Amino acid sequence: MKVSPSLLPILRSRIQGELLALVLLHPEREYSITELANGVGVTPTAVLREVGRLAGGGILTDRRVGRSRLVKARTDTPLYRPLSDRMSVSFGPLPLLTEALAGLEGVQQAYIYGSWAARYNGEPGPPPADVDVVVAGDPDADALFDLAEEVSTRLRREVNVLRVSAEAWEARTDDPFLTSVRERPLVRLNLDLEAQ
């Protein structure tokens, strides 16, 4: 039995939420089924089924180019703006932060933690009011702050970024804050896939 995601319980699955967020929050871009599968972390078959449902419902559009199937958001329907807004505030942190941090020099790893990560991992509770991110590495502090502000604007909620050195993140520590961050749910941002 599939469980609806805690981030937006009106959706049928977390895969559906991640797929919709990725495509709807980048309406100018077309994705292959393989790119979507890699971006969402599932098999191409699972993405193909979901794309079929969403294209059949008029939310996405797809076309064939040779043997590839390309998928894009349908922005010409009354559903696009409200659905895009819902995806932004629910599943949006994952694709938007991944995209933003993948392009920032000095970022080695990044994780979402706190209430958003807890809801993403299925813990019940109210919608998160903000998004907490830990960045391991040595990115420029001002550039990281500017990036957090830009993503905050797109998400319509505060993005709080904690910068730690890669060594501090990997090491055993007596720091109670870092210990609590590591013990709670974490959602790793797959920066390697986005950089490709």
pTM over 0.85? The answer is no
CB 97 within 8 A of CB 131: yes
Summarised one tens digit per residue, pLDDT across range 164-193 is: 999 999 888 888 889 899 999 999 998 885
- Please name the residue that has the structure tokens 């064939």: 64
What domains does the chain contain, in order, with CATH numbers?
14-91 (1.10.10.10), 94-195 (3.30.460.10)
CB 133 within 8 A of CB 112: yes
Compute the mean pLDDT over every residue in the chain, rounded to the nearest whole number: 90
Summarised one tens digit per residue, pLDDT across range 120-165 is: 988 888 889 999 999 999 999 999 999 999 999 988 899 999 999 9
Cα separations (Å) of 96 from 3, 26, 87, 90, 91?
24, 9, 11, 12, 9
Read off the pLDDT of each residue in 25-37 and give the average, rounded to a whole number. Answer: 94
Could you tell me the sign of the dihedral formed by the alpha carbons of 75, 65, 55, 120, in that order? negative
Pairing verdict, β 158-164 and 130-137:
parallel
